[in-house]
Amino acid sequence: SDNDHTTEGEPGALRTPIVAVLGHVDHGKTSLLDKIRGSAVHEGEAGAITQHIGSTAVPLDTISDIAGELVDPDDFDLPGLLYIDTPGHHSFSTLRSRGGALADIAILVVDVNDGFQPQTHEAMDILARTGTPFIVAANKIDTVPGWNPEPNRPSKVAIESQSDRVESDLNERLYEIIGQLSSKDISADMYWRVQDFQSNVGVVPVSAETGEGVPDLLTVLMGLSQRYMKDEMAIDVGGPAAGTVLEVKDTQGFGTTIDGVIYDGTIQANDTIVVGAKPNSIVTEVRALLQPKPLAEIRSDEEFEQVSEVAAAEGVKIAAPDLDDAMAGAPIRVVRDRDTSDVVDLVQQELADIEVSTDDDGLTVKADTLGSLEALVSTLEESEIPVMDASVGDVAPRDVRMAETASSSQEQSILAFNVDVLDDAQQLADQEDVRLFGHDVIYRLIEEYEEYVEEIEEAQQEQILENITRPARFKILPDHTFRQSDPAVVGVEVRGGLLRRNSNVVLFDGSTPDRVGSLKTIQDEGEDVDEARTGERVAVSIDGPTVGRQIKEGDELWVEIPEKHAKILEQELTEDISADEREVLSMYLDKHRNRDPFWGK
């Protein structure tokens, strides 16, 4: 290994805290990481930073070079900071609410122009849930109109040297962010006013463009780690390694490999390891431990070099057989001199602690990592949306087959968070009418699904309303008999409700309904129409009665509502019919219930 800080390799050593960078898309996560790396390379001599698999180590001396007088290396005994290189969802969702959390500390990046955005909220919720300490990098301070940049100086100094107008403009935006934090019950302030970083979140103004604020940012991170996480950084370097899977991917010449971060102990090239997977964890022999070659040595076909061991905290690519079912976010454990079955139990226990509970029926859910799966499923649970199957990985045909078995058509859907849909899965889904929803913001994903459910329910409601007999009463107008019988054709006025063609018509004699015939057509000023509403006068043809006998001018007629329909209208559809239809319905029910109190109940 090339991480040979003096405190490592001894018993009771302190490891490097692991830092994740989170925030909304385009708020500058990647730029900030690049800037930190760039500053480190710029400041230091060779070896100032070490590029690991999926992470970058910045040693204390380099941090101190960047931070200048802000950091005196003698005040610290943590070896530096290890940044997870994949910013955003992927890295934060491998942060888990239980079990070995990957990141010890986080930087939440917020664009000062944009404030809190959906992924900012989401990141914060997960940080709060996992209890991960974090600081806020209020980024892009250089974009405040009139900003006078001077690369790489501390932002506190930078802000003081701006004009009053620029300073107050920036302050306004910073207080906006502090306000948004406090509306989430997080007490925050500018970092230089924070005394106790454990109960207050420090806001560090930065520019990933000019490097302003980077010294302060590193200082605050280092201070926070040293002060509050020293105990957790004490590791048994010589012991069997514990780590977390960052990514599962193909590596040329090695097949399926895992990129992981080791946060405790040491992994050696001849170790047996257990990797969390479902339904059974993987027990396998390490074939090779790989790390990136130093830039100068990379030849086109060989990016990696084999190393004999890797100690916490570092990233490593592990090549071993049978890794296909490994999942991002899953634990990695070296067996060494323990019983394999004990270690398997340990890993299974840790997996079980990642709460992804499922129901007998419901949605099929996919996510990129165990952590994000847990977050997605628990959010669905809060929204009372049942989940039948939840797993990590791209949407595959078997997921479509699973979704098809859901009992309701709306639940024959797959919610996919931050993963791809394999071509054959897409095809099968189209063919089998399984709906696919994809998004990289959890609550947007759920929102899209809920909108779809609402659409379906509305359509179903419309369908039901279309097929159900609607209440209406109407009066035969005096001197408006156009035809006596076969069919009778009379002018009527709709007194309430919705009169539709092809309805049976009744006349009440007290509370006894008497079916007089069937209303076949409706004409409005000579034109055939399907329906007529309250107040409209139309001509109707009624098959059955003869005017002057069963019906006569001045009679009030009612559309006959089958008892079953009356019940559905009253119990399920009252909100979906108009007020005057409701009124007619209630009069109609009253008439029946005078005779039979339980009619339509």
Considering the rule CB under 6 A, would residue 143 count as an interface residue with ligand GDP? yes
Considering the rule CB under 6 A, would residue 154 count as an interface residue with ligand GDP? no
Considering the rule CB under 6 A, would residue 235 count as an interface residue with ligand GDP? no
Nearer to ligand GDP, 208 or 377 (CB): 208
> What region does 568 belong to: left with phi over 0, alpha with psi -120 to 50, or beta?
alpha
Alpha carbon distance 162, 157 (integer Å): 9
Nearer to ligand GDP, 25 or 587 (CB): 25
Which letter does DSSP use for residue 405 in this model? T
The residues in 352-381 that bind ligand GDP, with binding defined as CB under 6 A, are none
Considering the rule CB under 6 A, would residue 207 count as an interface residue with ligand GDP? yes
Binds ligand GDP by CB under 6 A, chosen from 15, 29, 89, 470: 29
Binds ligand GDP by CB under 6 A, chosen from 208, 403, 472, 519: 208
Shortest spacing between CB 447 and ligand GDP, in angstroms: 22
Shortest spacing between CB 29 and ligand GDP, in angstroms: 3
Considering the rule CB under 6 A, would residue 26 count as an interface residue with ligand GDP? yes
Considering the rule CB under 6 A, would residue 56 count as an interface residue with ligand GDP? no
* Side-chain-side CA neighbours of residue 588 (13 Å): 32
Nearer to ligand GDP, 135 or 488 (CB): 135
Alpha carbon distance 560, 227 (integer Å): 80
DSSP annotation string for 172-207: HHHHHHHHHHHTTT--EEEGGG-S-TTTSEEEEE--
Nearer to ligand GDP, 33 or 403 (CB): 33
- Only segment of 10-18, 135-143, 261-269, 502-510 that touches ligand GDP (CB under 6 A): 135-143
Binds ligand GDP by CB under 6 A, chosen from 5, 52, 90, 140: 140
> C-alpha distances in angstroms, 396 versus 377, 390, 417, 473?
19, 13, 14, 56
Give 224's strand partners. Answer: none
Shortest spacing between CB 304 and ligand GDP, in angstroms: 25
- Only segment of 25-33, 299-307, 408-416, 462-470 that touches ligand GDP (CB under 6 A): 25-33
- Only segment of 29-37, 225-233, 257-265, 328-336 that touches ligand GDP (CB under 6 A): 29-37
- How does 348-377 read in b/e, with b if 16+ C-beta sit within 10 Å? bebbeebebebeeebbbbbbbbbbbbbbbb
| 8 Å CB contact between 66 and 43 | yes
Question: In which element (H, E) is residue 155 found?
Answer: helix 155-160
Instruction: Report the SS3 class of residue 498.
Output: strand
| 8 Å CB contact between 402 and 411 | no
Considering the rule CB under 6 A, would residue 70 count as an interface residue with ligand GDP? no
Nearer to ligand GDP, 171 or 523 (CB): 171
Shortest spacing between CB 315 and ligand GDP, in angstroms: 19
Nearer to ligand GDP, 26 or 125 (CB): 26
Alpha carbon distance 113, 139 (integer Å): 9
Q: With CB under 6 A as the rule, give the number of residues binding ligand GDP.
A: 16
Shortest spacing between CB 28 and ligand GDP, in angstroms: 3
Closest CA to 591 of 482, 512, 530, 526: 512
Considering the rule CB under 6 A, would residue 317 count as an interface residue with ligand GDP? no
Shortest spacing between CB 30 and ligand GDP, in angstroms: 3
Shortest spacing between CB 124 and ligand GDP, in angstroms: 15
Considering the rule CB under 6 A, would residue 139 count as an interface residue with ligand GDP? yes
> C-alpha distances in angstroms, 406 versus 81, 380, 411, 413, 415?
47, 16, 6, 8, 13
Binds ligand GDP by CB under 6 A, chosen from 28, 154, 491, 545: 28
Question: In which element (H, E) is residue 457 found?
Answer: helix 442-467
Considering the rule CB under 6 A, would residue 493 count as an interface residue with ligand GDP? no
What residues have CB less than 8 Å from 183, skipping those under 6 apart? none
Binding site for ligand GDP (CB under 6 A): 23, 25-31, 87, 139-140, 142-143, 207-209
